[in-house]
Amino acid sequence: MTADFGKVGVLMGGPSAEREVSLSSGRAVLSALLNAGVDAVGVDADSAVLDRLKELAVDRVFIALHGRWGEDGVIQGALEVVGIPYTGSGVLGSALAMDKLRSKKLWMAAGIPTPEFVETRDEHVLETIREAIGFPVFVKPNREGSSLGVTRVETEADLKDAWSHARALDDELFAERCIDGAELTIGILADDTLPAIRLETPRTFYDYHAKYVADDTRYHCPSGLDPELEAQLKVQARRAFQVLGCEGWGRVDLMLDQKRVPYFLEVNTVPGMTDHSLVPMAARAAGIDFQELVQRILEASL
C-alpha cells in the first residue's frame, strides 16, 4: 500500500498563530510515514509552497497545517488548482469549520444544539450580552484555533479587556454562553467515529496553556460516560461534522451539560497530530497506533 502513495509532501509550519504546534504535528507525521517506508518529505509552507511542491515532484500532500491559511480552505483551494491530492476536508468544509460563527448558524438551522451567542464585531454590542445570554460567557475570535484569544468572562466589568484580547487576532468576535458540564472531544476517521475523550483541567477552561503546557490536564479515554449516551454523542458528532461538509478526518468538540444535553462548539479539520494529541489518543483506545492512524488518514487522499 505504501507504494500507492507515491511521494508525499507533509505540509507544516505556515504563517498562522499555531505555527509551532503545526511544526510539532508535521514532524510527528513525517517520522511515522518514513518509518512505514513511505517516500515522504517535510515542507515548511510559505508563499512559495506550490513551487516547492512542484520542485519536489510530490504526488500527494498530508496537510499538517493548523489555523488560518492551512485549515481554512486556502491551501486546499491552491492544491485543487494544481491538481495535487491532499488529506482531510475540501475547500468548503475547511472554510466553514474554521468559521465558528457560520458553523453555529448552520448547526442551528440543522437542529444541532450549540451554545447561544452574540456577535461582537463592534464594541458597543458588549452592552447587550447580559440581557441576551447572561454570564459567564466565553469571548472568542471567530477564526482561530488552539483556544488562542479565548477568555472566560464572569462579569460585565471584564468584557472590554476580553474583547480587546480577541480583537487582536480577528475582527469577527462573539460571546458564547458558558455551558456548565463535561468537556468532550470526538475524533472522526473516515467511516469510523473514535471513542470520546473527556477533558479535565484545574484551570478556568481548557485553554492554550492546558492544551500544550500544563502537566495537570487529565484526559479520560474511556470517557466514563454511559455507553448508550456515548454512542448517541458519536452519532451526533458525525452529523455535526457532515453538516459542515467536512470529510476524511477531524475532531468535534462539545460540552455536555448537567442534564446530559450536548452543545457543539466547533470542528477541527486538521487536529493536532503529535503522539500525545487528542485524535491519536482516541485512536490508541480504538486499537490504532500512531503509524496506522497516519497511514489511514493518507489513504483517504487516494
4-53: per-residue pLDDT in tens?
899 999 999 999 888 999 999 999 999 999 999 999 999 999 999 999 99
For residues 109 and 11, membership in a common domain is answered with no
Of 155, 177, 199, which marks where a domain is finished?
Answer: 177
| Distance, CA of 282 to chain centre | 14
Whether the link from the prior residue into 262 is cis, omega within 30° of 0, is no
CA neighbours within 13 Å on the CB side: how many for 97?
35
For residues 145 and 210, membership in a common domain is answered with no
For residue 228, what are the contacts with CB-CB under 8 A and spacing of at least 6? none
Compute φ and ψ for 180, nearest 5 degrees: -85, 110
Residue 209, pLDDT > 60, answer no
For residues 74 and 207, membership in a common domain is answered with no
Residue with cell 518514513: 34
For residue 301, give the nearest of 28, 76, 37 by alpha carbon: 76
For residues 109 and 123, membership in a common domain is answered with no
For residues 190 and 234, membership in a common domain is answered with yes
Task: Lowest mean pLDDT of 82-86, 111-115, 125-129, name the range.
Answer: 125-129
CA neighbours within 13 Å on the CB side: how many for 98?
23
Per the structure, the complete domain to which residue 38 belongs is given by: 2-88
- Give the count of domains, the chain: 3
Of 130, 162, 177, which marks where a domain is finished?
Answer: 177
Residues forming the active site: 18, 146, 212, 251, 253, 266, 268, 272
CA distance 111 to 224: 27
CA distance 100 to 16: 17
